[in-house]
A and B are shown apart, each in its own frame.
Chain A
Amino acid sequence: MARFLARRLVQSLLLVFIIITINFFLLHLAPGDPLARYYHPDIAPETIELMREKLGLDRPLIEQYVKWIWSFARGDFGISLQYNRPVASLLAESIPNTLRLTAGALMLYIIIGVALGITSAVKRYSLFDRVSTVAALFVYSIPSFWLALMLILFFSLKLGLLPSSHMQSIGIEGAGHFAMFVDRLRHIVLPAFVLGVASAAAMARYMRGSMIDVLGEDYIRTARAKGLPDRKVFLKHAFRNALLPVVTIIGLSLPFLLGGSVVIEKIFSWPGMGRLTVDAIHARDYPVVLAVNFIVAVMVILGNLLADIGYACLDPRIVYTRVGESK
């Protein structure tokens, strides 16, 4: 296992390098100018050219690349062109918020998806199964931005139950730990739900299919022949086997959630990486966009690695070894 991890780590580093390199060139090839926001009748073009020179944006692309990747490799993400602050400190502010949102969505989607899927499979063709099938398809087909707006309309404006934006109420800091926790929880419910619900619907379908496959296996018959009650047959013998294909899907859903959070954060004014990214792209704030890109690439690779490890933990038949090496 340690060997496997080491090998994966080296592969991942290489992969990340390739991804950020491609990204660097793609970004610079795209039209737009980070200094465009200084175009103004009152600002002399020479001043802008001076700024360009100072920032090194006038140098040949390959030179800019080498300079950037060199500082990047040493952990220096550079200075944001837009905010004139270190990119690292911008990320340090926004990444935890995005992770909080994504983790909330992930939890919601796994719990809802797995529970619905298993119940549907066990009560196959029942009313519950039919309703949840239709509901899953419905939810999956709804664009998330629309769902977000509808939920805000209903829960925030009409009922006034949940806040429509931001991570916490203004001035909540002094109200004590518990009140603050409740306040944050109320703020995260809507965005996490919108972010996770489509995945939950997909998950419910995968889980149902996987569980139905497993329930037809001979070893389920054996478990019943032993005299085990249904609960044990389903939750011990079937569940762990049914989870195997689903673990991969969870790992692959991470980029989906991170990508989705860009839209959701914008709608709910969530001070996370997604909002930072959208704003940075608009401003052609290259260092920020590239750094965010790097973080997302690392998270996706990490998600896949975790899925592989989870897979090995669940299925004893999987042993990670080098080709040609015996266990």
Chain B
Amino acid sequence: MDVLLKVDNLKTVFDTEDGVARVVDGVSFEVGHGETVGLVGESGCGKSVTALSIMRLVQDPPGRIAGGSVLFNGRDLLTIPEREMRKVRGNEISIVFQEPLTSLNPVFTCGEQVREAIALHQKLGRRESKRKAVEMFRLVRIPDPELRYRSYPHQMSGGMRQRVMIAMALSCQPKLLIADEPSTALDVSVQAQIMDLLLELKEKLGMAVLLITHNLAVVAQMVERVLVMYAGVVVEEAPVGGLFAEPLHPYTEGLLESLPKLGAPAGRLSMIPGNVPDPLNLPPGCRFSDRCPRRFDRCLSGEPPMFTVGRRRASRCWLREGGG
């Protein structure tokens, strides 16, 4: 599969009063053309910042990209001028954010906010861009698209708002869609609809999707390959089937064990003890060592690199040294 996006050793830091927080600390992964990749991890592990860094949308100050490269179709997005980057945003790479209410501007109609992106990138006049925006509303199955075009965000439900965000993101047929927890802020019943819609549109438009979520169930249904992130680094990479069948990192194991299982006797769900480490104060050695049930001496002395296991898998754990 041709590589569309290649993130290499990406580092994004935030300057705080207490020091430099390394929120994304050397993340590397690839997304192929038309591939769906899941980026999974707890809140605060750096997955959203990774997404914002790819788009160069990290708020600066306090954040800044401190190193690495983001090759998109072979071009390093971190070094091109801002003017070039603007042609990529919303055109070649789009993003759907978690909270559709706050992500839409309250004083403009939903239609105008979608139309604006179309007019900008496709150099269309008002009438043409409006027609295309209505078409996008229809594509994401907003009922009464002409009427809804004139609605303001506060006049719509959460699910409808997220459809508007998706319409906006897909309006210029991007090659890569980053979906940052697109269903987290929605009702459970609406979540499934939004996910189905994304999956369907992905098939129809043939774009690649980087799905960011903390929800493993969503990952299981939606993606082909999974990246598990912990404390600013990718700790495991695997095809989705393999990950659920045989996790290769103790953190992934812990995540899977904490999922409720169908048919299992009722009782307390298991959980990973402890908390995500403070990015200002990472444990020495392996970042997961202070919470890991399989910790041994090696884990405290040095940080493990990503060990390749088999052809398509990798794990950042000393237990996998030598590909075992």
Contact B152 A227 (CB under 8 A): no
B63 located at the interface, meaning its Cβ lies under 8 Å from any Cβ of chain A in the complex = no
Complex Cα distance, B105 from A218, in Å, reads 8
Stretch from B93-101, B245-253, B266-274, B316-324 forming part of the interface with A: B93-101
B66 on interface, CB distance cutoff 8 Å:
no
The A contact surface, by secondary structure, is: helix
Interface check B232, CB cutoff 8 A: no
B136 within 8 A of A: no
Give bound CA distance, A218 to B185, whole Å: 14
B120 lies within 8 A of chain A by Cβ: yes
> Contacts A218-B97, A317-B152 hold; do A227 and B88 have CB atoms under 8 A apart?
yes
**How many of chain B's residues have a CB under 8 angstroms from any CB in A?**
31
B43: shortest Cβ distance to chain A, in Å? Answer: 17
Contact of B107 among A218, A225, A240 (CB under 8 A): A240
Residue of B nearest to A240 (CB): B107
Closest to A317 in B: B154
Let me know if A176 is at the binding interface, CB within 8 A: no
List residues of chain A with CB within 8 A of the CB of B154. 316-317
CB distance from B169 to the nearest CB of A (A): 8
- Tell me the complex Cα distance, A317–B95, Å: 26
Is A324 an interface position by the 8 A CB rule?
Answer: no
Asked if A217 is an interface residue, CB under 8 A from chain B, the answer is yes
B105 to chain A: closest CB distance in Å? Answer: 4
Q: Tell whether A228 is near chain B: CB-to-CB under 8 Å.
A: yes
- Total inter-chain residue pairs, C-beta < 8 Å: 69
Q: State which residues 264-287 of B face A: CB under 8 Å.
A: none
Collect the chain B residues with CB atoms within 8 Å of residue A221's CB.
Answer: 52, 57, 97, 103
Given known A226-B117, A227-B87, A316-B152, contact A241–B103 (CB-CB < 8 A)? no
Q: Which residue of A lies closest to B155 (CB)?
A: A316
Is B77 at the interface (CB under 8 A from chain A)? no
Residue from A218, A241, A314 whose CB has the most chain B CB atoms within 10 Å: A218
Closest-by-CB residue of B relative to A219 is B105
Q: Which of A217, A219, A240 has the most CB of B within 10 A?
A: A219
- 16 CB contacts below 8 A, A to B, read A218-B97, A218-B99, A218-B103, A219-B106, A221-B52, A221-B97, A226-B90, A226-B116, A227-B90, A227-B91, A240-B107, A241-B107, A314-B107, A316-B107, A316-B154, A317-B154
7 A-B pairs closest in CB distance: A227-B89, A227-B90, A226-B90, A218-B102, A219-B105, A226-B117, A218-B103
Residues in A lying within 8 Å of B, measured CB to CB: 216-219, 221-229, 237, 240-241, 314-317
- Further contacts, 11 of them, CB under 8 A, given A217-B102, A219-B106, A221-B57: A216-B59, A218-B102, A218-B103, A224-B57, A226-B89, A227-B88, A227-B91, A227-B121, A241-B106, A317-B106, A317-B152
